[in-house]
Structure formats: structure tokens, C-alpha cells
């Protein structure tokens, strides 16, 4: 039996620092982040990665999910940066030294500026450009990486970039949203094939582990804000189908429904994805629920003014994170059941909470991991859990103030300090391992801790 993977997740732009060649660096310069904040050196992970991976190991983690920043590898189209490639090679070396199985993500929201200027994933040739990058990475680093996410949260990316205005280019462009959905799927299928074809010889401590390629897919538990409201009830179902199910159906080779009647045009079907499974696992990113509102009173980045719809992530008096996201562990179980219906192995590739004072994270971990334990006990094939995030980091449009990290980062000195909740996570991991992954004792060990 393969050991259960206990990990933490990060992404390049959020922690490395000085990713000057991507679209986010330019977007920040234009003032689109709250308070005009810039990512700058972020957490300085580029220089401190050995220290950070040692911190991960100190918590008893046995896996680490990171992203490979495309704009570092290919800062100009067709120009490859050997220094950056060597850095990622050293990152993998350090993972091996710390016994952290690497899970690499190839697209985590950022794209090279040159790619953005030619239309990004909304452009007709996006698949070819992304595949060229994937081929380069697979050829130079792939033999030592057993787990791959081609895309992180592709639906969040599309919604944020072309509907909700919280990711660059931040414009309401439904036709481009439609094109991006189609092109992202084409890019994923091509990358899936490329990785399996390119990586024939395996090396390193995980060379005998099966090579697995999937995506990390954000799942939201949608509810009508007013259950009696017929439009909100209907829209919640539509959002669930578009946001949650469309990518799962596409990965499973089913009919693709990357559109919403009257809002987002339905693109042509991606023929190379029809009738075949193009994922070896599904990565589930889960944080919270979402209430669908018709004619919302307040406009936010989640309620574009062009349509009378909005989302809110918490009701009054519901327990919530610093970001105002409801703490809803039952939703994790619900979304895992949705994903498990596709009969693929599952990894929880992100789950975490913004909690600066560290008052809620222990209880958040306890309740979400208990839901996870029950599902494993039922026989659902869940192979790993990655907390978001290892470190406090640059949280996109919100800047640095949301604090998700198992380790707190003091941004003046860049010192890292372990949070008490992280030590609780370590306790869970140790108790789990003492029970040797036998499922009934595993559940018992969670009950004992909780």
C-alpha cells in the first residue's frame, strides 16, 4: 500500500518573489491589488527554499506541492532560462533530501507577459505554447516528479480573468471566457499526453511510484441565498454544473458544458477529450460554500455589474475565516462525494483557512480532517491531503494580509514562526502513521485526537 501523503501546498508567484516576467507583476504595477500592494520578494522563498522545505519536514509532512513558474523558465517566447531550471532542479533535490514527495503544478494562475500580450489562454494557439513549455519541463525535470497537476483551478482562472475581474486581465469578456475554457482543456489534454509520453525513464526515490497526472480543481458548495427564491435555486444548480461539474465531466470524457445560457457562449467540443479519460487523479481544492444572490445589494469582485448575479461566502453569524469565508467542513465531504463519482483517485490538493490570530485553524483542521477520515473509512480512494499553505504568502488580489500559513511570516524580517495549529497538524499525522493506515484504527485515531 502506498503511504498516505500528508503535505502542504504553495505556488511560485505567491512565495518565490520577483517574478517580473509574468502578467501578475504587470497587473500589480497598475494598482489592481488592494492597497496598491506589490508582491515584491514575497516570502523570499527563492533564496530560502531549503529552510522552508526543512520546516515542512519538521511537521512530519511527506509531500510538498509547488508550482513551476512558466515566466521564469521562458521569460521571452522561445528563450529558456537555464538558471531558473537549475533552481527547480535544486528544489527537487531538497525535496528528496527532506523525504518530501514532489507534486508539481504547471499553471497556477500566472502566465508569461509575452503570452498574455498575445491573448493568453483565450488565443487559438494557447495549447501549442503551453505544450512547448510542458515538454521542456518534462524533459529536464520530469523523471523525478511522480505527481503532476497540469492546471490549478482552471474554472477559478476563467471566472476571475474574464467574468469576476479578480485576476488579470480583469475584464468582463464572456466570449473569451468561453474560448479560455476550451483552450485550457485542449492544453490539459496535450500536457497529459506529453508528460506520459516524455517521461519514460524514472529516477530518484519515487521512481517506482506510478506516474500520475491530473488537475487541482476548486469545488464550491453552492446554495441559493434564499431557498424559496426560484431564480436563486435554479442558478445555484447552474453554477454547480458550470463551475464544479464541467471540468470533471471533461476529464472523464463526457460531453463538455463550458457555458451558461444567456451569459457565456458554449464553445465547440474538444474532440480529443471526448470518450476518454484524461486524468489519473482528481485534485480537490476546497475552502467554503457559496450563496448565489439574484440582484445582490452590494457589488464585489464576485458580483460583476454586467449581470444581476452575485456570490457571498458567508451569512451573518456563521463562523467564518478572516476573508469572510464560511467554515463549512460538511461541504468538503459533499464535494468529495461529487468528485468520487468519477471513479478516479482523489487528492485534497488544497484546504485551509485565513486566520491571522490562529484561533480557528486547529478546529478547522480537526473538523475537516475528521470528515476526510470518515470518507476514507467508507472506502473512497483518497490518497493525500495538502494544507494551504505552508507559509503565509501573497494572496493575489488581497495582498499579504490574509494569513493561511502553517508558519507565520514576519514580512519585515522574513522570519518564519511555527503556529500552534501546525503542531496540531503534526500530531494528527503522527497518530495516523502509528495506526499504519489500517482504516478502522485510522478512524479511531482521529476520534482519539479529537
The Cα–Cα gap between 375 and 264 comes to 35
Give the helix ranges, DSSP H, for 326-419. Answer: 329-340, 361-378
Residue with cell 465531466: 249
Task: Kindly report the number of other CB atoms within 10 A of residue 212's CB atom.
Answer: 19
Closest CA to 425 of 343, 334, 336, 364: 364
**Options 350, 378, 395, 410, the catalytic residue:** 350
Please provide residue 74's backbone torsions phi and psi, each rounded to the nearest 5 degrees: -130, 75
The Cα–Cα gap between 394 and 404 comes to 10
Sheet with strand 309-312: strands edge to edge? 221-224, 289-294, 309-312
Closest CA to 190 of 291, 123, 261, 270: 270
Task: Check: CB of residue 322 under 8 Å from CB of residue 356.
Answer: yes
The Cα–Cα gap between 293 and 321 comes to 21
Task: Check: CB of residue 206 under 8 Å from CB of residue 146.
Answer: yes
* Helix axis angle, 420-434 to 439-449, nearest 10°: 150
Residue with cell 502566465: 111
430 annotated active-site: no
Buried b (16+ CB within 10 A) or exposed e, 353-389: bbbeebebbbbbbbbbbbbbbebbeeebebbbbbbbb
- What element of type H or E holds 213? strand 212-218
Residues in the chain: 450
Give the helix ranges, DSSP H, for 230-360. Answer: 230-239, 246-251, 329-340
Q: Helix, strand, or coil here: 97?
A: helix
Task: Kindly report the number of other CB atoms within 10 A of residue 97's CB atom.
Answer: 13
Residues catalogued as catalytic: 350
Amino acid at each position: 500500500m502506498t503511504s498516505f501523503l500528508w503535505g502542504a501546498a504553495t505556488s511560485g508567484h505567491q512565495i518565490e518573489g520577483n517574478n517580473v516576467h509574468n502578467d501578475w507583476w504587470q497587473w500589480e504595477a497598475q494598482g489592481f491589488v488592494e492597497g496598491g500592494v506589490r508582491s515584491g520578494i514575497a516570502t523570499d522563498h527563492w533564496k530560502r527554499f531549503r529552510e522552508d522545505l526543512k520546516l515542512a519536514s519538521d511537521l512530519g509532512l511527506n509531500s510538498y506541492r509547488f508550482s513551476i513558474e512558466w515566466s521564469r523558465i521562458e521569460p521571452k517566447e522561445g528563450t529558456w532560462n537555464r538558471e531558473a531550471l537549475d533552481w527547480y532542479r535544486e528544489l527537487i533535490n531538497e525535496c528528496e533530501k527532506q523525504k518530501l514527495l514532489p507534486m508539481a503544478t504547471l499553471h497556477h494562475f500566472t502566465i508569461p507577459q509575452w503570452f498574455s500580450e498575445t491573448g493568453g489562454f483565450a488565443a487559438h494557439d494557447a495549447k501549442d505554447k503551453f505544450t512547448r513549455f510542458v515538454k521542456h519541463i518534462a524533459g529536464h525535470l520530469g523523471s523525478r516528479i511522480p505527481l503532476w497537476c497540469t492546471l490549478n483551478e482552471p474554472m477559478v482562472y476563467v471566472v476571475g480573468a474574464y467574468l469576476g475581474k479578480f485576476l488579470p486581465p480583469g475584464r468582463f469578456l464572456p466570449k473569451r471566457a468561453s474560448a479560455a475554457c476550451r483552450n485550457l482543456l485542449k492544453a490539459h489534454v496535450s500536457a497529459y499526453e506529453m508528460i506520459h509520453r516524455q517521461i519514460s525513464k524514472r529516477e530518484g526515490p519515487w521512481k517506482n511510484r506510478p506516474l500520475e497526472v491530473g488537475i487541482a480543481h476548486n469545488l464550491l458548495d453552492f446554495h441559493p441565498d434564499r431557498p424559496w427564491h426560484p431564480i436563486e435555486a435554479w442558478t445555484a444548480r447552474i453554477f454547480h454544473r458550470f463551475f464544479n461539474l464541467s471540468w470533471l465531466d471533461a476529464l472523464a470524457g463526457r460531453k463538455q458544458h463550458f457555458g451558461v445560457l444567456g451569459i457565456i457562449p458554449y464553445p465547440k467540443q474538444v474532440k480529443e477529450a471526448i470518450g476518454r479519460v484524461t486524468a489519473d487523479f482528481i485534485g480537490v481544492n476546497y475552502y467554503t460554500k457559496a450563496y448565489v444572490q439574484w440582484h445582490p445589494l452590494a457589488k464585489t469582485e464576485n458580483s460583476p455589474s454586467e449581470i444581476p448575479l452575485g456570490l457571498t461566502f458567508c451569512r451573518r453569524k456563521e463562523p467564518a475565516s478572516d476573508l469572510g469565508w464560511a467554515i463549512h467542513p460538511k461541504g468538503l465531504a459533499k464535494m468529495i462525494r461529487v468528485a468520487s463519482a468519477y471513479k478516479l483517485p482523489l487528492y485534497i490538493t488544497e484546504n485551509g483557512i485565513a486566520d491571522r490570530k490562529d484561533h480557528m485553524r486547529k478546529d478547522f483542521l480537526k473538523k475537516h480532517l475528521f470528515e476526510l477520515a470518515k470518507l476514507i473509512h467508507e472506502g473512497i480512494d483518497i490518497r493525500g491531503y495538502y494544507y494551504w499553505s505552508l507559509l503565509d504568502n501573497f494572496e493575489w488580489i488581497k495582498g499579504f494580509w490574509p494569513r493561511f500559513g502553517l508558519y507565520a511570516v514576519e514580512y519585515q524580517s522574513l522570519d518564519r514562526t511555527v503556529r500552534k495549529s501546525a503542531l496540531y497538524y503534526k500530531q494528527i499525522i503522527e497518530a495516523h502513521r502509528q495506526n499504519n493506515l489500517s482504516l478502522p484504527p485510522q478512524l479511531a485515531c482521529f476520534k482519539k485526537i479529537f
